Amino acid sequence: MVSPCRRSRTVVRGLALSALLALPLAMAAAAQAPAPATGRDPLTGPRSRLQRDWIGARAVTADVPILVMAGHADSQGITGPGTAGEAVDRQGAEPMQSGIRDELYWNLQVARRVVDLGRQRGLNISFYDPPLRAIVDGDDPRTNWSVGKAHAAAGGYALEIHFDAYGLDGVGSGVIPALHRPFSRIDESLALAFGGYPMQFRGGLGGPRRGITLLEIGKLEAPLEPALRNLATRERALDSISERVVAALELGVGRQPGATPIPATLGGAVEERVPLAGGLSRQPDGAGSAPPGQDPAASSGGG
């Protein structure tokens, strides 16, 4: 006799297989390929080891409006500013830009490059940057949450870029999918490129509950953070990350990626330093983008 528990697992596996078969051939093949033995990427570092319990099979049109935002762009100096990164917190490095956490600095760098490259490749893609760096009310119409929620409700795809916390506070690269509708092929394609988190990570985060997919690029520690801070490797690292994101977006909307990804092998040892921002905490900061009194952390560790 088959136990109810085993029968339930069989049904779930059957549903997952049915959804997977609906994906384009290239995505299905990638989804079934074994993960790297170490679970690490040479540039972005460890992937999330949490069990991904979803598959993105919902088709989207090639011209779906894609909105890209930088995580924590509206929560500097208040609850949920993002991680300062290992270099600042543990190694005594100065923040990349006075007045903001290093995570936001890199979130902005990647988000803007993704939009510029996406436009060059013909995607219907745009960038939103809040007019203020500290907006206490998460439901203020100028926040990422509010703008992303409205965009998703109108049928668009909202994506927020994050970098995860270093050390034990972080989880690793991966997608935390929006929860407002069935998961899309864009979600799936991004997860194949970066890894995936459970759909109800931390009980359902503020962004995903509002229809915003969160993408954790990687933990803000080695090997990723030194590659970003190093002047000799920064441009290649940012280009490589942006290419990977855009290629995943292209595949998710049914297009073949328009370019070969840039190699992730990096070296060198020069850092750019900027003045230390007064009053910035040197804690790992596992909080997400939630302002005071709002939802739980809007990403893992520092994302």
Q: Judge if 58 and 198 occupy the same domain.
A: yes
Q: Judge if 160 and 185 occupy the same domain.
A: yes
Specify if 261 maps to a domain: no
**Domain count across the chain:** 2
End-to-end CA distance of the chain: 46
Task: Look up the domain containing 6 and give its range.
Answer: 1-34
Q: Judge if 66 and 19 occupy the same domain.
A: no
The CATH number for 175's domain is 3.40.630.40
- Helices (H), ranges, the chain: 4-21, 25-32, 86-91, 102-120, 144-153, 185-194, 206-209, 224-229, 234-252
Q: Judge if 129 and 5 occupy the same domain.
A: no
Q: Judge if 55 and 93 occupy the same domain.
A: yes
Specify if 293 maps to a domain: no
Q: Judge if 1 and 63 occupy the same domain.
A: no
Q: Judge if 29 and 44 occupy the same domain.
A: no
Tens-of-pLDDT digits for all 303 residues of the chain? Answer: 434 443 433 333 333 334 333 444 444 334 333 334 358 999 999 999 998 999 999 999 999 999 999 999 999 999 999 999 999 999 999 999 999 999 999 999 999 999 999 999 999 999 999 999 999 999 999 999 999 999 999 999 999 999 999 999 999 999 999 999 999 999 999 999 999 999 989 877 889 999 999 999 999 999 999 999 999 999 999 999 999 999 999 999 999 998 444 444 444 333 333 332 333 333 344 333 334 334 433 333 344
Q: Judge if 23 and 72 occupy the same domain.
A: no
Q: Judge if 144 and 7 occupy the same domain.
A: no
Alpha-carbon distances of 171 from 153, 156, 201, 211, rounded to whole Å? 29, 28, 11, 22
pLDDT given at position 136: 96
Last residue of a domain, one of 212, 229, 252: 252
pLDDT given at position 203: 75
Specify if 302 maps to a domain: no
pLDDT given at position 38: 52
pLDDT given at position 59: 97
Q: Judge if 86 and 29 occupy the same domain.
A: no
Contact 89, 166 (CB under 8 A): yes
**Spatial strand order in the sheet of 66-70:** 125-128, 66-70, 157-164, 212-219, 174-176
Q: Judge if 218 and 85 occupy the same domain.
A: yes
Q: Judge if 2 and 72 occupy the same domain.
A: no
- pLDDT tens per residue across span 6-64: 343 333 333 333 433 344 444 433 433 333 435 899 999 999 999 899 999 999 999 99
